[in-house]
Copies of this chain bind each other. A is one copy, B any other.
Amino acid sequence: MSVVIDDILSTAQSNWTKEEGPYHHIVISSRIRLARNISKIPMPIFQNETEGQHVLDKVKKVAESKELRDDNALEFYRLKDINALDRRILLEKHLISPDHCQEDVRRGLLVNKDESISIMVNEEDHLRIQVLYPGLQLNKAWEKVDNIDDILENHLEYAYDAEKGFLTACPTNVGTGMRASVMIHLPALTMTKQAPRIFSALGQLGLAVRGLYGEGTEAIGNIYQISNQITLGQKETEIIQSLTAVTRQIIEKEEEIRRALVKEKKLQLQDRVGRAYGILQNAAIMDSKEALNLLSDFRLGLDLELIHTDLKGQQLTELMVMIQPGFLQKYKKKPMQSLDRDAARAELIKEKLKGGHSDVY
């Protein structure tokens, strides 16, 4: 395989876990993805293998264009050439979906080195174009994904209906085919039980809230994904404008409560942050849920300067990715059962935190 995917698979760093984006103390990442299909070829669910290969071939050809290969450094891969563990790592890095992780010869992926752009081929739709940036950068992500979309459209004829817009496998995507989302860390709103009230108002704005790992999942580690639900009757830029505005309001609310907590409950916060740090640094067995929850407390301590450390919030985001099962097996170079993984996870966290020379006050 080529350098790009080897790099991706050998480190937990991605642009969104490495660089600090705007509002990085609260917003972990901004993502926009577009669902697109090629005209006159059955969508993946109705495809036979030949038709699937046809889509792969078409996209591979576009991938060789100057605009994608040279200007955007995208490389094309067939997922059948990537083993199951490595596919699992792509999933843990949010580069492919759980579905796309499954064995299927028709699946493809385009990705660039810093992992900010990825295109799943033959997932639910022929193309799922994703741009992922650190912090709150939905506008910038939109510009990039729109640019990639234009390039693809220059080479491929999209399935498009003058009235409905872009046609997609699932009706919930028809229209813009766009899903914009932010991954946001809200420990103070969660701790003070104000999150549900705030989130309940989002439905009326056409926005939905989910936990860290997609639909229906719990907000482990106090991390939420907020995304648009509506893809019909609103322009992309309007949706992005609205999601950005709502995110800013939530940031302000989270900041306000954090300030109030520091003022009124400093000792309790120090206790919580200190305990999280002490356990992360000294446990010998840790499951992924506990790790994410403790890392959330640790990150809050970092943001509120209750803990002095060389570690940056970005390293904690990286750790959030590294403690997933796929990465742990890569790190330990062997498949592992649950207890072994929990031990490897504790070991890895300890090692990472030791590098940081932290001091709790």
Contact = CB atoms under 8 A, between A and B. Distances in A.
Interface stretch (A71-79, A198-206, A274-282): A274-282
A267 interface: yes
Interface string A259-296: 00000000110110011011111111100000000000
A346 interface: yes
A31 to B, nearest CB: 35
A212 interface: no
Contacts of A268: 284-285
A343 interface: yes
A285 to B, nearest CB: 4
Nearest to A358: B282
A278 to B, nearest CB: 3
A275 B271 contact: no
Interface residues of A, number: 19
Stoichiometry, copies per complex: 2
Nearest to A276: B282
Contacts of A283: 271, 274-275, 278
Interface string A73-94: 0000000000000000000000
Contacts of A267: 284-285, 339, 343
A282 B360 contact: yes
Given A278-B278, A278-B281, A282-B278, A271 B346 contact: yes
A283 B306 CA distance: 12
A57 B360 CA distance: 55
Contact of A284 (B271, B280, B281, B284): B271
A301 to B, nearest CB: 10
Interface in A217-276: 267-268, 270-271, 274-275
Nearest to A270: B284
A274 B270 contact: no
A271 to B, nearest CB: 4
A339 B267 CA distance: 10
A357 B133 CA distance: 42
A2 B284 CA distance: 50
21 contacts: A267-B284, A268-B284, A268-B285, A270-B284, A271-B283, A271-B284, A271-B285, A271-B346, A274-B283, A274-B284, A275-B278, A275-B279, A277-B282, A278-B278, A278-B279, A278-B280, A278-B281, A278-B282, A278-B283, A279-B279, A282-B360
Interface of A: 267-268, 270-271, 274-275, 277-285, 339, 343, 346, 360
